[in-house]
Amino acid sequence: MKQLMAAGGMKRRVLIVDDEMINRELLGAMLAQSYDVAFAENGAQAMEALAEEEHGFSLILLDLMMPVMNGFEVIARCRADARLRNVPIIVMTSEKSAEVKSIRAGAVDFIAKPYDMPEVILARCERIIELSEDRSIIRSTERDKVSGLYTRGYFFAYLQRLLPRLTAPMDALVLNINRFHILNELLGHEEGDRILGTIGAQLKALTAPMRGIACRSESDTFFLLAERQEEYETLIAELQKRVGEQTGARDLRLRAGVYHCPNDGTNPENWFSRAKAACDRIRGQYSALTATFNNELHELTVFRERLSSDVQDAIDNRGFVVYFQPKYRIQGERPVLASAEALVRWIHPELGFISPGEFIPLFEKNGLIHKVDHFVWREAAAQINRWREQYGVTLPVSVNVSRVDIFDLALEKKLLDIVEAFSLAPGDLMLEITESAYADSAEQLNEVIASLRNRGFKIEMDDFGSGYSSLNMLTAIPIDVLKLDMQFVRTMLSDEKKRRLVELVMDIAAFLEVPVVAEGVEEEEQLRALKDMRCDLVQGYYVSPPVPAERFGELIEKELQEKGDWHDNH
């Protein structure tokens, strides 16, 4: 930090207060090389300069005898002002008695007039500033204990003070560890903390030459503001290497997003959210260590902001439409319609069709998913009720429960209110919860699922086999249906190992006595293979894509015509 502030483009500011021009000029000449110097002719002018929110003065050199407002008055006022209390003051005087008095009043040092040795004066100024900065950092307990860097709050407060003095072009960087939660889980939290600490120390060391200041923003996310460099791949690669060597986590992978800070008075928080957008873009993409926020990303950001602000309108004006994809039971002679999955679609009045892949992950991040999911659950329940009235059958429909919903304390109540509103049994509205939610929050998930099952809801474990925690989870959490991840179906015919895995999942499911739904079935061959493996249900384009409710009604009608007793099974 010291290097940063002493840097060419970012000199510390010093205020010289003296009513005699010759003194101001002399001192100014001594200090101008090292500092950004401002002048005041008396105490009143000094207080004016200090009144600015971003005055940024690191030191005040103060004459005592001045017209309008003398130096003692300035000291008294500064000491009484929380914002100014920590700016060190050196008094300049020729009177011994005044020296003592001013030190008592709160000045930190004095310089005797007439000024003789400029080097001595300069050295004293430097020393005082250094001391006061060290103290202010100690005072601020604003260090993040794990990483040794600043905390996010302090970092931004500090940037606010620093910004007016920045002249060199700067970059904002956001650093993240790929799949840190898994490392944390595998190695334990202590080891995880050690990795974060090493990153903090090495980041500081490596970025000192580019006058970097850094903080840990949250768990494994670091922010860095530094003088602009040509590229950052080398830096991140070196950081990754050092941290790997020092902690033994050799497969640790970092990634960084870069934003070139404009010189337009925009807010640093914005810079970092853009750098973060760039960083998110290369999540899990191991070939690139860094990405820079560019126009394309800018447009993506604007697009996302648009989507977020249009959610309520889509709910109110039926921009969201719920599609239904059937699940068929396959162990009989022919596939028989068993249930459906509700999948949301967004038909935007101006942007057209938007795939859930575009907005669901976004809304999971910003919390809007609660609204969307609630809407979909209600629609699905309303539709079950409508079909029941129309066809006399209660066809169970699964809805997706986002991992974020798990943390909603009102989740159970919301679901119960919905089934009650349409006179359904909880089991009619089945709940698909993605397996990866388990990695985020095993305990919480366990509790929520147990409670929902107690109320009669049926839980389908979605995307089963896509994460690392599948088997752990099965023993810990009782569920009602396993939904095999699409990836397995896609590869099982060409990859013998995958096929064996699917068989294994079938065995496990049989052992647990839960049915298996295979998702993403696109070909007859896949269906036949799954049937041979005793898979219970399939869902996929081969039988039907997701369709609007009216089209789905035709599938129900067809089933009713094909088989007279279909009714009784529902």
What's the closest the beta carbon of residue 253 comes to ligand C2E, in angstroms?
25
459: Cβ contacts below 8 Å, ≥ 6 apart: 430, 431, 433, 449, 452, 453, 479, 480, 481
Question: Any contact of residue 339 with ligand C2E (CB under 6 A)?
Answer: no
Q: Which does 217 bind (CB under 5 to 8 A by kind): Ca ion, ligand C2E, none?
A: none
Q: Which does 343 bind (CB under 5 to 8 A by kind): Ca ion, ligand C2E, none?
A: ligand C2E
Phi, psi of 149 (to 5 degrees): -95, 180
Closest approach, Cβ 545 to ligand C2E, in A, equals 6
Residue 100 or 541 with smaller CB distance to ligand C2E: 541
Cα–Cα separations (whole angstroms), residue 234 to 240, 287, 334: 10, 13, 60
Backbone angles phi, psi at 251, to 5 degrees: -95, 15
Q: Which of 546, 549, 552, 555 binds ligand C2E (CB under 6 A)?
A: 546
Kindly indicate which of the ranges 74-82, 245-253, 271-279, 351-359 contains the residues binding ligand C2E, using the contact rule CB under 6 A. Answer: 351-359
Question: Could you say which of 74, 98, 214, 343 contacts ligand C2E (CB under 6 A)?
Answer: 343
Contact 464, 483 (CB under 8 A): yes
Least CB distance to ligand C2E at residue 295 (A)? 27
CA distance 281 to 300: 11
Torsional class of 482: left (φ above 0), alpha (ψ -120 to 50), beta (otherwise): beta
Near ligand C2E by CB under 6 A: residue from 41, 109, 310, 373 = 373
Nearer to ligand C2E, 184 or 402 (CB): 402
Closer to ligand C2E by Cβ: residue 171 or 462:
462
Q: Given CA atoms 21, 26, 32, 36 in this order, what sign does their dihedral have?
A: negative
In whole angstroms, give the CA distance from residue 275 to residue 262.
13
Judged by CB under 6 A, the number of residues near ligand C2E is 21
User: From CA 267, how far away is CA 411, in angstroms rounded?
Assistant: 36
In the complex, the smallest distance separating the C-beta of residue 445 from ligand C2E, rounded to whole angstroms, is 15
Q: Please give the residues from 465 up to 524 whose contact with ligand C2E meets the rule CB under 6 A.
A: 520-522
Angle made by CA atoms 505, 511, 515, in degrees to the nearest 5:
65
- The residues, ordered by sequence, that sit 6+ positions from 217 with a Cβ below 8 Å of its Cβ are 152, 155, 174, 223, 272
What radius of gyration, in Å, describes the C-alpha atoms of the chain? 33
**Interface residue with Ca ion, options 462, 480, 536, 559 (CB under 5 A):** 462
Query: Of these, 46, 207, 540, 555, which contacts ligand C2E (CB under 6 A)?
Result: 540
Strand partners, 519: 539
Please report whether residue 73 would count as binding Ca ion according to CB under 5 A. Answer: no
Q: Do residues 45 and 71 make contact, with C-beta atoms less than 8 angstroms apart?
A: no
Decide if 400 contacts 356 (C-beta within 8 A).
no
Distance CA 526, CA 494 (A): 11
144 vs 373, beta carbon nearer Ca ion: 373
Q: Which is nearer to Ca ion, 39 or 320 (CB)?
A: 320
According to the binding rule CB under 6 A, does residue 402 interact with ligand C2E?
yes
Beta carbon of residue 465, minimum distance to Ca ion (angstroms, whole number): 10
Distance of CA 559 to the CA centre of its chain: 47
User: Closest approach of Cβ 520 to Ca ion, in Å?
Assistant: 8
Q: What's the min distance (Å) between Cβ of 179 and ligand C2E?
A: 20
Size of the site for Ca ion (CB under 5 A): 4
The answer to whether 526 contacts ligand C2E (rule: CB under 6 A) is: no
Partner in contact with 395, chosen from Ca ion, ligand C2E, none, beta carbon below 5 to 8 Å by kind: none
Answer whether 336's CB lies under 8 Å from 329's CB.
Answer: yes
Contact status: 310 vs ligand C2E (CB under 6 A):
no
Contact flag: residue 360 with ligand C2E (CB under 6 A): yes
CA atoms within 13 A on the CB side of 111: 25
SS3 per residue for 12-30: CEEEEECCCHHHHHHHHHH
Q: Pick the closer one to ligand C2E by CB: 197 or 540.
A: 540
Residue 43 contacts which entry, ligand C2E, Ca ion, none (Cβ below 5-8 A, type-dependent): none
Under rule CB under 5 A, residue 536 binds Ca ion: no
C-beta of 278 vs 376, nearer to ligand C2E: 376
Q: Can residue 335 be called a binding residue for ligand C2E (CB under 6 A)?
A: no
Residue 520 interacts with, from Ca ion, ligand C2E, none (CB under 5-8 Å by kind):
ligand C2E
Backbone phi, psi, residue 422, to 5°: -115, 20
Which residue in the block uniquely carries the two structure tokens 């009484």?
80
Q: Which of residues 84-113 bind ligand C2E (CB under 6 A)?
A: none
Nearer to Ca ion, 57 or 488 (CB): 488
The DSSP 8-state label assigned to residue 423 in this structure reads: T
Q: Which residue, 258 or 368, is less far from ligand C2E as judged by CB?
A: 368
User: Within 10 A of 98 (CB to CB), how many other CB atoms are there?
Assistant: 18
- Taken in order 84, 90, 96, 100, is the CA torsion positive or negative? positive
* Binder of Ca ion out of 41, 220, 373, 463 (CB under 5 A): 463
337: nearest Cα among 92, 547, 55: 547
Q: Which of 144, 379, 435, 462 touches ligand C2E (CB under 6 A)?
A: 462
Query: Please, which residues have CB within 8 angstroms of residue 144's CB and are 6 or more apart in sequence?
Result: 150, 151, 200, 215, 216
Using the rule CB under 6 A, is 355 a contact of ligand C2E? yes
**Smallest gap from residue 430 Cβ to ligand C2E (A):** 12
For residue 221, the minimal CB distance to ligand C2E (Å) is: 24
CB atoms within 10 A of CB 373: 23
- Near ligand C2E in 239-278, by CB under 6 A: none
Among 147, 400, 539, 544, binds Ca ion (CB under 5 A): 400
Sheet holding 254-260: strands in order across? 150-151, 213-218, 221-227, 170-177, 254-260, 290-292
Nearest distance, CB of residue 424 and ligand C2E, angstroms: 18
Provide the binding-site residues for Ca ion, judged by CB under 5 A: 400, 432, 462-463
Binding footprint of ligand C2E on the chain (CB under 6 A): 325, 343-344, 355-357, 360, 369, 373, 376, 400, 402, 432, 462-463, 520-522, 540-541, 546
